[in-house]
Amino acid sequence: MKFKRTEYPTTMATSAAMSFLSMANNPYLYEYMGRNVQLPSKKLPILLPDKCPCCGKVLSTEILPIRAVNNITDNEQKECTVISIYRCTSCNELFTVINTVKTKLVFNDEKFDTDNAISEPVGIYPFEMENVEFDEDISDLSSSFVEVYKQAERAEHAEHDGLNLICGMAYRRALEFLVRDYCVDKFPEKVSEIDTKSLSEKIKNYITDDSDIKTLAEKATWLGNDQTHVINKHPDRDVNDIKQFIQMIVAKIKIKMVVADAETIKKG
């Protein structure tokens, strides 16, 4: 799923809630509402999805939400959440995109600087974004890896912020943490020695127990280097290859952990 950023008037949820509350007590207000009453709104950056999460069809580049709502309660706050509701013209399903807006200025600033506000996707419902979930064992092994990997995913989704250019580098950085912590787990007594080695040296010298992990880590490093260098030595490969290799390394590590656990079971 890719997103395109645009500015869109978002209704203040607090004022909408008050209006609906008063409507519930006063049926005449429903009619009033039908005449398109404008609730207070604020133009904020929202994220337009490129595909329908329900049927997978590519959405028109002209698509806009039916309605977008923000949760600004205090004009002094610098961060808020926006929910945008859409209808897919292909499958007629309704879906929502949730994004955060972070700004250096407060929301009541006269010249609210949306250009410098950062807008990040949080989720798309009824379907989650295709983010990888890592097992607790992997987080225990390398919490830095999991954290950086998730940051890389956010950068990848954030095409509109120009961050996608750095997501390849971020995946490589995640790999560095994973390899480092895997090696230290295997050779805890050599931690200070390991920390002086480059990523390639760590892979070569300390990943000695699994040739698949070694190969995947080595190749992911090469592709990751392409993301940081001016000349791409493997133009037929991209960031999806790096992601796949990292995920397979994680899967192999998990298998080894489960096997090690199984081996502790003694015959009764």
- The residue behind tokens 């040739």 is 211
Site for Zn ion in 9-28 (CB under 5 A): none
Q: How many residues bind Zn ion (CB under 5 A)?
A: 6
Beta carbon of residue 1, minimum distance to Zn ion (angstroms, whole number)? 13
Burial (CB count within 10 angstroms: exposed 0-12, middle 13-18, buried 19+), residue 206? buried
| Interaction between residue 124 and Zn ion (CB under 5 A) | no
Dist. CA 261–CA 268, nearest whole Å: 16
| Interaction between residue 55 and Zn ion (CB under 5 A) | yes
Among 22, 90, 143, 208, binds Zn ion (CB under 5 A): 90
Among 80, 82, 83, 88, binds Zn ion (CB under 5 A): 88
- The residue behind tokens 């983010």 is 131
Part of the chain binding Zn ion (CB under 5 A), chosen from 38-46, 85-93, 158-166, 252-260: 85-93
Residue 73 or 90: which CB sits closer to Zn ion?
Answer: 90
Contact at 8 Å (CB) between 120 and 99? Answer: yes
- Can you tell me whether residue 38 is helix, strand or coil? coil
| Interaction between residue 97 and Zn ion (CB under 5 A) | no
Q: What is the DSSP letter of 173?
A: H
Query: Where would I find the H helices in the chain?
Result: 13-25, 28-34, 136-141, 143-157, 164-186, 191-194, 199-206, 211-228, 239-263
Beta carbon of residue 67, minimum distance to Zn ion (angstroms, whole number)? 18
Residue 21 or 94: which CB sits closer to Zn ion?
Answer: 94
Beta carbon of residue 90, minimum distance to Zn ion (angstroms, whole number)? 5
Part of the chain binding Zn ion (CB under 5 A), chosen from 17-25, 41-49, 91-99, 122-130: 91-99
Part of the chain binding Zn ion (CB under 5 A), chosen from 48-56, 74-82, 135-143, 196-204: 48-56
- The residue behind tokens 């994220």 is 47
Residue 12 or 52: which CB sits closer to Zn ion?
Answer: 52
Among 44, 46, 48, 52, binds Zn ion (CB under 5 A): 52
CA distances (Å), origin 102, targets 114, 170, 181, 232: 9, 21, 33, 34
Dist. CA 226–CA 160, nearest whole Å: 23
Residue 40 or 56: which CB sits closer to Zn ion?
Answer: 56
CA distances (Å), origin 1, targets 4, 82, 97, 166: 10, 18, 11, 17
| Interaction between residue 138 and Zn ion (CB under 5 A) | no
Among 21, 85, 91, 258, binds Zn ion (CB under 5 A): 91
Residues near Zn ion, by CB under 5 A: 52, 54-55, 88, 90-91
